Amino acid sequence: MTETSTPADGATPPRLEPRPLERPDTDPAQRAAFGRPAGVGTSFAPVTGGTARSAPAVAPPPTAAVARAFGRPDPGTDGLQRPQGADGSGPPDPAGTDPFWPGGSAEDPWRNPGAPVVAAPPPGDAEPGTPAARAAGPRLSVREVLFGDRVQPRALALLGVVALGIGALGGLVGHWTASGASALTSPGAVLASAEEAKERPPGSVPDVAGRVLPSVVSLEVAVGNEAGNGSGVLIDPEGYVLTNDHVVAPATGPGQGTIEAVFSDGSRLPATVVGADPMTDLAVVKVPVANPTVAAIGRSGELAVGDAVIAIGSPFGLAGTVTTGIVSAVDRPVRLDPEGGAGDAVIDAVQTDAAINPGNSGGPLVDGTGAVVGINTAIRSAGSAEPGAQGGSIGLGFAIPIDDARQIAQELIRTGRIAHADLGVNARSVTDGATDGAQVQNVVAGGPAAAAGIADGDVVVRVGDRAIAGADELVVAVREHAPGEQVPVELVRQGRPLTVTATLGQR
């Protein structure tokens, strides 16, 4: 709002005029479509005839069909109007009764706006009327049922048969229940506990035995009128069987005996000796068999004390015998005295408590996966460690580690013989209470020990990286090296330590 000031002379102040309207030009096409007709200046057409309002429009008369359907009734017929009296004629009833609304229209909720609202169930949802109670009929007596012709005889017979059958079945069940209960509750009865059958998962003893047994053979050796038996394991598809030297030695000596291999299926084939090594009590024989089952070869160097092992062989001629145990010790030097051996047979054995008896010799010692980790060779029984001892197993069995047996078997298959490293000394086990070792008893003249300066009385305490705790361990420590190899030898001479280098010989 714009303020104006009053002139001092009292004149009328100027009035503000409205702003002129800006009327933009319209589109000729829109003006032609939506504009007023020519000569019309207002919103409505000019009034004609001198009146401000035009006469109301009169609808055309209806057709005859519309008049019949929707027209008023004839004057002579009764209409839908309220009747004059109760009977529809005459003046209204003076009592004020209403024929359409008994009790008066004022009480009807449809005509009284002040009537309260009452909730009523929808049509059709009302509870049906309670049916009238049926009167109880007359009851039938047994006489009427049986003799009154009220029930068919066939139905009575069927009902009797069913009753007899139910009674007989109940008697039998009661008799069986009473008999079983008396047996279970009789004094002195002891019930054995039973468990559900267990599966044989992969890696279990039955699973391993089933896979390894076809590769294990029983070797029967006959020399003249004498016979013996042992075991072996197939290690090559060409039919090569690894076993102990003392098992087949009788057949290679004077008399030239025979060797027969008996397989797990009972088949028999002759076997010939390919090569033998008395120093380690190992031998290889060949059997002319086609497509044999070959045992998997494991690694004995990965064994640990406590590992589960399985021994398989033919103790006392009982082929396919399986015993289980654990690894009791590893790298246990054990001196053997195999039949036909050249003496000084020592192995670096795997000790086990699996039951090994005469006849197990040459059979495999396998781990929990079924891989061969040793060749069963000797037992300690009744103070004897002889492989052929006839004493029973006391849980001290020894097997040749498969890592050593594999190399020896490969060399026997190639050349038929094997050479071992030799230091050229004879020794015995000694100890001073603090240190154990192997004391040299004599030195072979011109041998590797003599050339290295080792003298009688020296105590060998280490060969290479292996400590020496006795004479047997000195033998296996030297055989761990190849002939011609130079190895350091630590000695104790007259209480003073001494180290020499020896070039190993061959034996």
Q: Burial letters for 222-235: b for 16+ Cβ neighbours within 10 Å, e otherwise? A: ebeeeebbbbbbbb
CA 239, CA 237: separation in Å to the nearest integer? 5
CA dist., res. 90 & res. 98, Å (int): 14
Quick check: is 328 catalytic?
Answer: no
For 410, list phi and psi in degrees, rounded to 5: -60, -40
Cβ within 8 Å of residue 134, ≥6 positions away: none
Pairing status of strand 505-506 against strand 421-422: antiparallel
Kindly name the residue from 215, 218, 245, 281 that is annotated as catalytic.
281
CA torsion sign for 436, 439, 444, 448 is: positive
| Residue whose token pair is 């020990």 | 449
Assess whether 420 carries a catalytic annotation.
Answer: no
Residue of 361, 367, 458, 481 marked catalytic: 361
- Residue in 215, 231, 245, 246 annotated catalytic: 246
C-alpha distances (whole Å) from 390 to each of 19, 208, 337 are 140, 28, 14
Residues forming beta bridges with residue 243, ordered by sequence position: 283
**Catalytic status, residue 246:** yes
The whole-angstrom separation of Cα 289 and Cα 239 is 6
Q: Residue 425: which of 413, 414, 440, 439 has the closest Cα?
A: 440
Please answer whether residues 355 and 323 qualify as being in contact, where contact means their C-beta atoms are separated by less than 8 angstroms: yes
Report the candidate in 365, 397, 377, 399 with the shortest Cα–Cα distance to residue 295.
Answer: 365
Beta-bridged to residue 491, according to DSSP, are 460, 498
> How many CB atoms are located within 10 Å of the residue 308 CB?
16
Q: Give the Cα separation of 436 and 100 in Å (integer).
A: 136
User: What gap in Å lies between CA 263 and CA 289, rounded to an integer?
Assistant: 10
Hey, which residues are catalytic here?
246, 281, 361
